[in-house]
């Protein structure tokens, strides 16, 4: 055994088989075992398993190994419900009991706060609350984006990418998604076959249909389908962007597709999104509604929301209500407070907080989402929320600098005091995975809110940002993970910071 190079000798080499006991879990849910101090990372192995593995890639101190056989299963091992759970990149922890998965996520957040945030382990243990798990952790996603392609036999398929690749694992009835996904995809695939509509080919840039976005309002039961197409007017003779009913020469097949799709129970909106770029970004920014409404509606925290294809909306609404509830509790609103909600999307947290606050400012980068947010405020009779469109790291410093320069102390738009606006009681942030920009953090510190509530979908960037806020005069008062993405390694967290010192 072993592989020799001129420089170093590794304990194991590619292709070696070994037996290893899995004693830990990595951040990506992989099993970790050790043989004489040499570390093996084994995807799909569960902590407590005794396994036979094959070394795939060996380094000096560690190797990646393939799980060949579970010789003695861990007490935490369960049979995955999905038949493609190992190949598909969507789920990573289906072989683990749900209880164990929750424990793994609690540990992941804790470890990131300690290792990457530099917080003391005992301190984190004293302020961290137990993860909010889901009672029924299946069929929880209200949104799915299926890439389209062909399998080796040339059949048109829809599914999800295999982990870290762009090869599509065919799966139309994903068990964390809605039951309607399969019905909708079956209609689209048979339609493509009938009319010779090509799925998009990433390698050549040819083909029409790239992705199918399906969204369902769990309370409203309304369904939206958005077909992401590689549509170039010069290449395709027909106008696939014309709404049904237009008198242009739009294609029979489109009329037929729309008429088949709108028979699906709950169908409310059918649209196309044009994306002709060679990019990993799924949605194009140009959207044309072919049939029905431009949006679907849903109810969250007792508020009604309209959601456009391009707007962000939490994918697990059952858990989102619990998450928002926790964020509102941490904010400790009494009806008078001025609040900023940065990265507000369609205004879900903003409007939920507005019910209990004096005035709330929402900031969001996507114009469609801001338009939805403003309409959502009107629809819900909320007049103490205002929305600003732009990057949080630009909008917030500009607002702050302008207010400092401004002679008058009244925000003309909202009628509230500018001093109050730039020294709010609470700032809520809910950034994408990359976390907050430094300019955003710096301005938040200058604004000196009494509390900051940080909602995060990536505990590594959360740890980094909490460290910056802690060094800027805030005390980390509470942290609570919430399981929004059951059977995956992703975990949402909400943290509360309280101001301890005046730095500026």
Note the residues at the interface with ligand SAH (CB under 6 A). 312-314, 343-345, 348-349, 363-366, 369, 391-393, 430-432
User: Residue 33 or residue 347: which is nearer to ligand SAH going by CB?
Assistant: 347
What is the nearest approach in angstroms of ligand SAH to the Cβ of residue 98?
A: 24
Catalytic residue among 174, 436, 457, 486: 457
C-alpha span between 138 and 74 (Å, rounded): 23
Q: Percent helix, strand, coil in the chain (nearest 5)? A: 25, 30, 45
How far apart are alpha carbons 78 and 206 in whole angstroms?
42
Measure the CA–CA gap between 434 and 363, rounded to whole angstroms. 17
Comparing C-alpha atoms, which of 92, 206, 194, 94 is closest to residue 148? 206
The tokens for 501 are 């010192």
CB of 486 to ligand SAH, least distance (A): 18
CB of 489 to ligand SAH, least distance (A): 19
Q: What is the DSSP string of 241-274?
A: TSPTT-SS---HHHHHHHHHHTTSTTEEEEEEEE
**Active site (annotated) includes residue 457:** yes
**Mapping DSSP to helix (H, G, I), strand (E, B) and coil, where does residue 417 land?**
strand
Q: Give whichever of 261 and 339 is closer to ligand SAH, judged by the CB atom.
A: 339
Torsion of CA 282, 174, 225, 280, to 10 degrees: 0
Shortest Cβ 8–ligand SAH spacing (Å): 44
- Rounded to the nearest whole angstrom, what is the least distance from the CB of residue 291 to ligand SAH in the complex? 26
Residue closest to ligand SAH when measured from CB atoms: 345
Contact criterion met (CB below 8 Å) for 166 and 210? no
Cα–Cα–Cα angle for 105, 109, 115, nearest 5°? Answer: 135
Nearest residue (CB) to ligand SAH, 314 versus 414: 314
Q: Pick the closer one to ligand SAH by CB: 156 or 421.
A: 421
Closer to ligand SAH by Cβ: residue 30 or 364: 364
- Pick from 350, 376, 301: nearest CA to 453: 350
Residues belonging to the active site: 457
């Amino acid at each position: 055994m072993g592989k020799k190079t001129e420089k170093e000798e590794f304990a194991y080499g590619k292709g070696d088989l070994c037996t290893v006991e899995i004693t830990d879990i990595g951040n990506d849910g992989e099993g970790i075992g050790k043989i004489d101090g040499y570390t093996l990372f084994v995807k799909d192995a569960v902590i407590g398993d005794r396994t036979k593995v094959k070394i795939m890639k060996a380094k000096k101190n560690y190797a990646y190994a393939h799980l060949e056989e579970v010789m003695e299963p861990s007490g935490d091992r369960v049979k995955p419900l999905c038949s493609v759970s190992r190949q598909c990149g969507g789920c990573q922890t289906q072989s683990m009991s749900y209880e164990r998965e929750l424990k793994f996520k609690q540990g992941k957040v804790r470890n990131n706060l300690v290792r990457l945030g530099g917080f003391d382990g005992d301190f984190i243990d004293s302020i961290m609350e137990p993860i909010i798990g889901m009672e029924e952790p299946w069929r929880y996603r209200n949104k799915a984006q299926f890439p389209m392609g062909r399998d080796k036999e040339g059949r048109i398929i829809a599914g999800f990418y295999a982990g870290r690749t762009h090869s599509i694992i065919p799966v139309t009835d994903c068990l964390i998604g809605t039951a309607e996904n399969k019905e909708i995809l079956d209609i689209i695939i048979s339609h493509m076959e009938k009319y010779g509509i090509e799925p998009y080919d990433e390698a050549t840039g040819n083909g029409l249909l790239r992705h199918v976005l399906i969204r369902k309002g769990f309370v409203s039961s309304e369904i939206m389908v958005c077909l992401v197409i590689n549509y170039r007017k010069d290449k395709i003779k027909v106008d696939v962007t014309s709404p049904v009913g237009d008198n242009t020469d739009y294609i029979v097949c489109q009329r037929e597709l729309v008429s088949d799709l709108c028979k699906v129970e709950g169908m409310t909106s059918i649209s196309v999104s044009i994306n002709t770029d060679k990019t990993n970004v799924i949605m194009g920014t140009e959207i044309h509604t072919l049939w029905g409404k431009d949006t679907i509606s849903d109810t969250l925290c007792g508020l009604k929301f309209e959601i456009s294809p391009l707007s962000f909306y939490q994918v697990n609404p059952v858990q989102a209500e619990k998450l928002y509830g926790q964020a509102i509790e941490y904010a400790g609103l009494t009806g008078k407070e001025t609040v900023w909600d940065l990265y507000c999307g369609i205004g879900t947290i903003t409007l939920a907080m507005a019910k209990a606050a004096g005035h709330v400012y929402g900031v969001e980068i996507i114009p469609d989402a801001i338009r939805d947010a403003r309409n959502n405020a009107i629809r819900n009779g909320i007049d103490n929320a205002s929305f600003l469109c732009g990057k949080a790291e630009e909008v917030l410093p500009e607002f702050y600098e302008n207010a400092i320069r401004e002679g008058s102390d009244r925000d003309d738009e909202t009628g509230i005091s500018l001093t109050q606006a730039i020294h709010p009681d609470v700032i809520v942030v809910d950034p994408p995975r990359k976390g907050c920009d430094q300019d955003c953090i710096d301005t938040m510190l200058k604004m000196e809110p009494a509390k900051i509530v940080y909602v995060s979908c990536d505990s590594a960037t959360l740890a980094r940002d909490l460290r910056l806020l802690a060094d800027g005069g805030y005390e980390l008062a509470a942290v609570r993970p919430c399981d929004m993405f059951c059977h995956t390694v992703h975990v949402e967290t909400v943290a509360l910071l309280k101001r301890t010192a005046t730095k500026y």
